[in-house]
Amino acid sequence: MTSMGLQRRLWLCFLGVSFLPVIYIIYLNLEITWRMDILNLTQFPGIWYTQEPNRLHDPEEPLVVNTLSDNSSIAPPTPLSLKVKSTSPARVRPSTEPGARTTKGSDVKGALLKSAKPTEPPFIGDSYYSEDAPPQTDCPDSIRSRVSQTDFGVRYLGRIPVLQWAKHATPEQYQRLRLYPGTHGWANLDFNTLVSTLSVLNTSANWHMFDDWDRRSNGSRCVRCAVVGNGGILNESKKGHEIDQHDYVFRTNGAVIKGFEQDVGSRTSFYTFSTNTLRNSMRSYAGAGYRGPPLSEETRYVFLPDHDRDYLLMKAAATHTPVERGPERSKTPPTYFGGNVTVEKLKMYHPDFIRYIRNRFLRAHAMQTKYKDIYRPSTGAVMLLAAIHTCDQVSAYGFMTPDYVKYSDHYFDHQYHPVGFFINHDMRLEMTLWQQLHRAGLITLYMRQ
């Protein structure tokens, strides 16, 4: 072997040995990064991390996806850099319908929302529609009269509409709310579908939560509400009679009643759901006896819309026509709410209200992560916070408490199932909020003590 060949081989060996540490360091960095991703996920409050994709979210709840039903399309949302620059919720110009005060507020031009003079305490730069709808009661001990004396006074905004209806379907409002996906706006919805749906919700019953209060108040000045979750803490609680004694009873999703009346009561005044959670509940809890929403003369059905399919189902139910397109497309009218349901029994949460309660009451760490677009308050949390903003007095049953490990996930479980935590909700944050509201005297939380 020549000296030149020997030198060449030695040089190649030297280069190979020199690169080994570099390759090893790169490998370690990749491994550490991957492990840190897992570590960070497990540190999020209320997150149950798993490598199975279908376990990143509650099977009863939807993942937010930026897709529409077939044959629908919208222009892409305006970039976030075009959002409102104001640091306070601006009063967006409302229409001159009864119950809404016309104010000189923000005007919408294209996709730009001009900032208005702050009309609410500054908070995180979001803006909400504001209207002055008079309260339905003059209860001297209402939540809205007491909240300012608590720590929640700076968070609570009493003029944001809880429900959306015909007057909200304007081009200006659409340009504003199409910035937000899922339950928080109209990004997953084309304008024609929005208008054709909300135009059906044109009665006072659609924007009043308690549309029958005048005839059922029986001289009472205060609306007393029982808000019933599906938590296992209610099993063997014997709270059914107490729940049914309230003026109104709220329930959600897989609300199994038959066979559990002693624990959870028998009445349902308001049933909160999304199309996705409804259908998932019918599949998941059929074995426990859940066949669909409660059917009674007093029951109102409150949609939590996270997709255009909710608007399509709402319109079909209200007009007794088939669902036009999407997963629920049908040849006959939907029967989830009974064959004789009227438009007066249908309501739909306003996306501003959902975004408001997320921003001010349930601002989870997940909002700072790549999961921010799928995070939202749970359906039960929306139901309870809606009651807090409409009822005078609220009692909450079946919601998560600090000793939740003692109880099965649901009161109707045949055997013990631990509570699961998923990326699209922060159940521990919600649990903490219920404790705070209870200590503040704004709700009465059943804790089995």
Residues 6+ apart with CB under 8 A from 328: 275, 279, 309, 312, 313, 316, 334
What Å distances lie between residue 371 and 56, 67, 305, CA to CA? 10, 17, 19
Q: Is 104 exposed, middle or buried (0-12, 13-18, 19+ CB in 10 A)?
A: exposed
Torsion of CA 427, 444, 356, 426, to 10 degrees: 0
The pLDDT profile of the chain, 449 residues, written as one tens digit per residue, is 555 565 666 666 555 555 555 444 443 343 322 222 322 323 333 333 222 223 344 444 443 333 334 333 333 333 333 233 332 333 333 322 223 332 333 332 232 233 333 334 445 557 899 988 888 899 999 999 999 999 999 999 999 999 999 999 999 999 999 999 999 999 989 999 999 999 999 999 999 999 999 998 888 999 999 999 999 999 999 999 999 999 999 999 999 999 999 999 999 999 999 999 999 999 999 999 999 999 999 999 999 999 999 999 999 999 999 999 999 999 899 999 998 999 999 999 999 999 999 999 999 888 888 988 889 999 999 999 999 999 999 999 999 999 999 999 999 999 999 998 888 999 999 999 999 999 999 999 999 97
pLDDT of residue 185: 94
Task: Return the CATH number of 80-445, one of 3.40.630.10, 3.90.1480.20, 1.20.1050.90, 3.55.10.10.
Answer: 3.90.1480.20
Distance CA(271)–CA(244), nearest Å, equals 15
- Helix 379-388 with 427-439: angle, nearest 10 deg: 20
pLDDT of residue 389: 97
Domain boundaries along the sequence of the chain: 80-445
pLDDT digits (tens, 9 = 90+) for 239-250: 999 999 999 999
Q: Which CB contacts under 8 angstroms, 24+ apart, belong to 42-46? A: 44/364, 44/365, 44/366, 44/369, 44/423, 44/426, 45/364, 45/365, 45/426, 45/428, 45/429, 46/364, 46/366, 46/421, 46/425, 46/426, 46/427, 46/428, 46/429, 46/430
Residues 6+ apart with CB under 8 A from 409: 231, 232, 417, 418, 419, 420
Which segments within 96-247 are labelled E, that is strand? 108-109, 112-113, 128-129, 224-228
